[in-house]
Amino acid sequence: MATDKKAYWKTNLRYLSLLLSIWFLVSFLCGIVFAESLNAFYIAGFPLGFWFAQQGSIYVFVIIIFIYVYLMNKLDKKFDVDEV
């Protein structure tokens, strides 16, 4: 059981680092640090850096949370630690 809990926690941490890297990438990197270079590209009528900063990052934030919910609900079941 104890090793099970360890494996559960490890998987959780792996999900977290992956999803938080995406969180950091879309906001701080695409929206701020590299925004200037990305502004050279256009999607629809948007300069890309501007789009990430004022629209795209927010959409991605919402998606990240729902992906995490989905992954964790599955993981809880797999390790039999879900709520009844």
Partner 1 sequence: MSTQLWTYAIVGATFLLYIIIAIVSRASSTKEFYVAGGGVHPILNGMATAADWMSAASFLSMAGLIAFMGFSGAQYLMGWTGGYVLLALLLAPYLRKFGKFTVPDFIGERYYSKNARLVALICALFVSFTYVVGQMKGVGVAFARFLDVPFETGVFIGIGIVFFYAVLGGMKGITYTQVAQFCVLIFAFTVPAIFISLQMTGNPVPQLGLGSKTSEGVYIIEKLNQLSVDLGFDTYTSINSDNLTNMFFITAALMFGTAGLPHVIVRFFTVPKVKDARVSAGWALLFIAILYTTAPAVAVFARTNIINTLSNATYADVPQWFKNWENTGLLSFEDKNQDGVIQYVAAPERNELTIDRDIIVLANPEIADLPPWVIGLVVAGGLAAALSTAAGLLLVISTSISHDLLKNYLRPNISEKGELKAARISIAVAVLAAGLAGLNPPGFVAQVVALAFGLAASSFFPAIILGIFDKRTNREGAISGMVVGIVFTIAYILYFTPQLGGAGTKEGFWFGISPEGIGTLGMIFNFITALVVSRFTPPTPEPVVAMIESIRTPRGATTPVEQH
Residues 12 and 78: beta-carbon distance below 8 Å: no
Residue placing its CB nearer to partner 1 in the complex, 3 or 53: 53
Taking residue 57's Cβ as centre, other Cβ atoms within 10 Å add up to 19
Give the one residue of 7, 21, 65, 74 binding partner 1; rule: CB under 8 A. 65
Tokens representing 38? 């990305």
Per-position x/- string for 11-40, each x denoting binding to partner 1 as judged by CB under 8 A, each - no binding: -x---x--xx--x---xx--xxx-xx--x-
CB of 3 to partner 1, least distance (A): 13
**Residue from 39, 63, 64 nearest 52 by CA:** 39
Count of residues engaged in binding partner 1, rule: CB under 8 A: 45
